[in-house]
Amino acid sequence: MRLLILACTGPVDEPIVEVRDGMVHVPGGVVAVGPSRPPGDLGPPPKGGKGPPRGKAPGRPGPGGQPDLGAPLAPGGPAHSVQEPAQWTSMGGQGIEVRDVRVDAFWIAQHEVRRSEYQHFLEATGYRPPHVEEAWAEDGWNWVGTQPPEGTEDHPVVLASWYDAAEYCVWRGLRLPTEAEWQLAALGPKESASTFPWGDEYAGDRLNHGKASEPNFDDSDGFWTTAPVGSFPAGASRYGALDLFGNAWEFTSTFRLDSWDFDPSGPGLYVAVRGGSYFFDSEEHPSGERNHFLSEVRRKTSGFRCAQSE
């Protein structure tokens, strides 16, 4: 059964929102994938992400914006005759050139996966529950068996790695969206892309966000950490998807590249995440919602939603 409703949060020329079984339809289109800031302006990583590994110098943008790891480092300065090989560092695709990608029509979940939905997955499969052996995780984050923290059943599932997210989607007969699909669902096609899902002007009351200054938590939107999915209907994208910005970073199926010479379908070390979280402020740095996480790490800020081909 298909339900048609009119989008009411954007310009009148936006498409009709089509919802089916909890998923919204996204017509095909072309998106410009890559950093929205100039390739040479790598800048600091956004909050919730990771900078270069400690003790490793970040790569410098080379010709055409490609990362250039430079010459091997020489201990003791230039006069030292023994050189050590440069250590590879991922820049998370911040130095890559923008490239147009054509996306076929597809469906994407209207909401991030709820903890109650993930609970059904755990009970049906015996899969590993969200749990991290760190002190902070005992403060309302770790699950007890298949039970999520009390009162958070409608919140997006977090403490799930990219592998956990992919397994859940397979169990549902679905998959993770590619980064290009996610971008199209959130911001629209290249010719009419917006800065935010709802338009080009930042609106702090349309997403669950953090703030740029420490400690980065911000309850001015009504929530200190995650919020129940769908709590910000005014932040819907033109296709009717909710919470694409804020609440939780969202995994995609695309492995993050520093060069287009490699296949973004993987395998790789880092995966592309988009949208920011309750611990991130996109007002000062909108392009910072494009980030990358290690695929095996379980964070309290990262969740996901599923997609399906046309």
Give residue 178's pLDDT. Answer: 97
User: What are the backbone angles phi and psi of residue 210, rounded to the nearest 5°?
Assistant: -105, -150
Q: CB under 8 Å to 280, separation ≥6 — which residues?
A: 46, 47, 48, 209, 210, 216, 246, 249, 288, 289, 301
> Which of 42-46, 112-116, 216-220, 249-253 has the lowest average pLDDT?
42-46
> Which of 85-94, 101-110, 224-233, 247-256 has the lowest average pLDDT?
85-94
Q: How confident is the model at residue 99 (pLDDT cuts 50, 70, 90)?
A: very high
Q: Tokens standing for 247? A: 């609440």
Q: Where are the domains of the chain?
A: 3-40+98-309
CB-neighbour burial class of residue 72 (10 A; exposed 0-12, middle 13-18, buried 19+): exposed
Q: Is the pLDDT of residue 166 over 50?
A: yes
CB-neighbour burial class of residue 127 (10 A; exposed 0-12, middle 13-18, buried 19+): middle
Q: How confident is the model at residue 14 (pLDDT cuts 50, 70, 90)?
A: low
Which of 293, 286, 287, 303 minimizes the C-alpha distance to 272? Answer: 293
Q: Which residues of 283-294 are buried (b: 16+ CB within 10 A; e: fewer)?
A: eebbebbbbbbe
DSSP state of 146: T
Q: Is the pLDDT of residue 85 over 70?
A: no
Give residue 93's pLDDT. Answer: 76
CATH code at 3-40+98-309? 3.90.1580.10
Q: Tokens standing for 274? A: 């988009």
Q: How confident is the model at residue 292 (pLDDT cuts 50, 70, 90)?
A: very high
CB-neighbour burial class of residue 5 (10 A; exposed 0-12, middle 13-18, buried 19+): exposed
Q: Is the pLDDT of residue 225 over 50?
A: yes
Q: CB under 8 Å to 29, separation ≥6 — which residues?
A: 102, 103, 184, 188, 189, 190
Which parts of 185-265 are beta strand (E)?
249-255
Rounded to the nearest integer, the mean pLDDT of the chain is 81
Give residue 152's pLDDT. Answer: 97
Give residue 261's pLDDT. Answer: 78
> Which of 31-45, 77-91, 217-231 has the lowest average pLDDT?
77-91
> Which of 40-54, 89-103, 229-243, 277-291 has the lowest average pLDDT?
40-54
Which of 115, 141, 122, 173 minimizes the C-alpha distance to 299? Answer: 141
For residue 229, the one-letter residue type is V
Give residue 46's pLDDT. Answer: 46
Give residue 160's pLDDT. Answer: 98
Q: Hey, which of 62-66, 145-149, 214-218 has the most confident mean pLDDT? A: 145-149
**How far is it, in rounded angstroms, from Cα 118 to Cα 307?**
16
**How far is it, in rounded angstroms, from Cα 63 to Cα 50?**
25
Q: Is the pLDDT of residue 75 over 50?
A: no
- Could you read off the pLDDT of 169-202 as tens digits, one per residue? 999 999 999 999 999 999 999 999 999 999 999 9
Average pLDDT over residues 48-66: 32
Q: How confident is the model at residue 72 (pLDDT cuts 50, 70, 90)?
A: very low
> Which of 11-25, 40-54, 56-70 has the lowest average pLDDT?
56-70
Q: Is the pLDDT of residue 249 over 60?
A: yes
CB atoms closer than 10 angstroms to residue 184: 30
Average pLDDT over residues 88-93: 67
Which parts of 34-140 are beta strand (E)?
60-61, 67-68, 99-103, 106-109
Global pTM? 0.80
Give residue 87's pLDDT. Answer: 57
Give residue 89's pLDDT. Answer: 62
Percent of residues, the chain, with pLDDT higher than 70:
78
